[in-house]
Amino acid sequence: MYENEEQVERAVLVCVDTGEFDAERSLDELQELAASAGAQVVSRVIQKKDAFDPATLLGSGRLREVADFVKANEIDVVIFDHELSPANQKNIENAMETKVIDRTTLILDIFAQRARTSEGRLQVELAQLRYRLPRLTGLGTSLSRLGGGIGTRGPGETKLESDRRHIRRRIHALEEQLEELEQRRDLLHRRRKKDGVISVAIVGYTNVGKSTLLNRLTDAGVLAKDMLFATLDPTSRALSLPDGRKVMLVDTVGLVSRLPHHLVEAFKSTLEEAVNADLILNVCDVSSPEFDHQLEVTAQVLKELGAEQIPVLTVLNKCDLVDLPPLTIDKHTAAISAKSGLGLDSLLQKIALNLPETHRRLQLLLPYDKAGLVNELRLNGKVMEEEYRGEGIFLDALVDIKLCHKVQDYIVKE
């Protein structure tokens, strides 16, 4: 009896090192991305050049070498660590006689696998169609040959080949649907602000433990796997802080280096939870030799989104796996292990410290003729303790700062 398993695609990774970025590090990440998409990486190729060949990126000699290797080793897909133009793609596919995709197509393919919500799937399809439309000329002869696999998930490939007008109509329809969802989300954000809901967004590089942290703090039950982009859709859960406040903790899609700008734009509605947050938790894997690079990538994307003014708490995850060098662990930095729970109490305290002051923890003694204030305080804050004494009503309460002026004369202890 045989199991019907999807055949694993054999892949070759290709990078042209012009000195623009660290090619080895980028190719390591591309290999992780390929593995996340379900490919088996058979070989990696790096060619150092002063500039890309305008037709095929690689030099002609190296292109022939890779093509010979592809044919001799039954390679299913060649993945370039660069964005390919339609002409590049056509020329390389003609030389390789196999499927050729680029870094952006690979990331979109992973997104297509991971998206679960209707909005996530709409965003993925829109990004794929926008990216593929100008490349139909380059893909025209190959689409009918491709039966599936990496780079082909998402919208129907036969339509991409045969009908540009259909694609443009579909893009327009998707844009309208996403615009409606964006208007609803804006309304929801305004309502949250009006109701005084405080939000904390978890952002950071993919696969650094963001979902594990959300699960540890809130029992969210979010998928947490050792792979890039294990989760794509944002998840929100309530979290209680040590000072008595409740906040909404939001997990967002992970980031990678050199994430193409149009992908950031396509998933802006997913990432904008960070833009609308009161505090951002920038999570990094401190056990990774690239943790400083992870922090830089996140900071750059937040700047592109227009979120650079929002307070940031840097969270150094997996601190139990390394001997940390002398670091300034101040109110803006927390060292934790999301997996073991180490440092989470301190993290919660620092979240409270970094949030804008919306409430103050006060002990009050109200005269009985001010008893009407008790209900107002309860509606706009939280009363932890209430005791009726001879001299008045004693309260230990989290008081909305907008009401502090009303109780200023009755404060017993701050």
Rounded to whole angstroms, the Cα distance separating 150 from 144 reads 15
pLDDT one-digit tens code per residue, 384-403: 888 898 888 898 888 887 88
The conformation of residue 205, written as its DSSP 8-state character, comes to B
Rounded to whole angstroms, the Cα distance separating 232 from 229 reads 6
Is residue 172 in a domain? Answer: no
Average pLDDT estimate for 327-346: 85
Give the helix ranges, DSSP H, for 278-364.
291-305, 344-354
Structural domain count of the chain: 3
Shared domain check, 348 and 208:
yes
Shared domain check, 230 and 150:
no
The overall pTM is greater than 0.75:
no
Q: Is residue 188 scored above 90 in pLDDT?
A: no
Is residue 169 in a domain? Answer: no
Q: Is residue 250 scored above 60 in pLDDT?
A: yes
Shared domain check, 231 and 127:
no
Domain of 54: which CATH number?
Answer: 3.40.50.11060
* Cβ atoms of 160 and 146 closer than 8 Å: no
- What is the pLDDT, as a whole number, of residue 139? 45
Residue type, 57: L
Shared domain check, 404 and 288:
no
Shared domain check, 118 and 223:
no
Shared domain check, 246 and 259:
yes
Rounded to whole angstroms, the Cα distance separating 120 from 67 reads 36
Shared domain check, 378 and 343:
no
Is residue 228 in a domain? Answer: yes
Rounded to whole angstroms, the Cα distance separating 12 from 22 reads 19
pLDDT grade for 144, boundaries at 50, 70 and 90 = very low
pLDDT one-digit tens code per residue, 64-108: 999 999 999 999 999 999 989 888 988 999 999 899 999 988 988
Domain of 211: which CATH number?
Answer: 3.40.50.300
CA atoms within 13 A on the CB side of 206: 25
Boundaries of domain holding 304: 197-354
In the chain the first and final C-alpha atoms are separated, in Å, by 73
Shared domain check, 146 and 112:
yes
Shared domain check, 288 and 230:
yes
Torsion angles phi and psi, residue 244, rounded to 5: 95, -15
What rounded mean pLDDT belongs to the chain?
81
Rounded to whole angstroms, the Cα distance separating 376 from 400 reads 10
pLDDT grade for 148, boundaries at 50, 70 and 90 = low
Locate 227 and state its tokens: 């792979």
Length of the chain: 414
Average pLDDT estimate for 110-121: 77
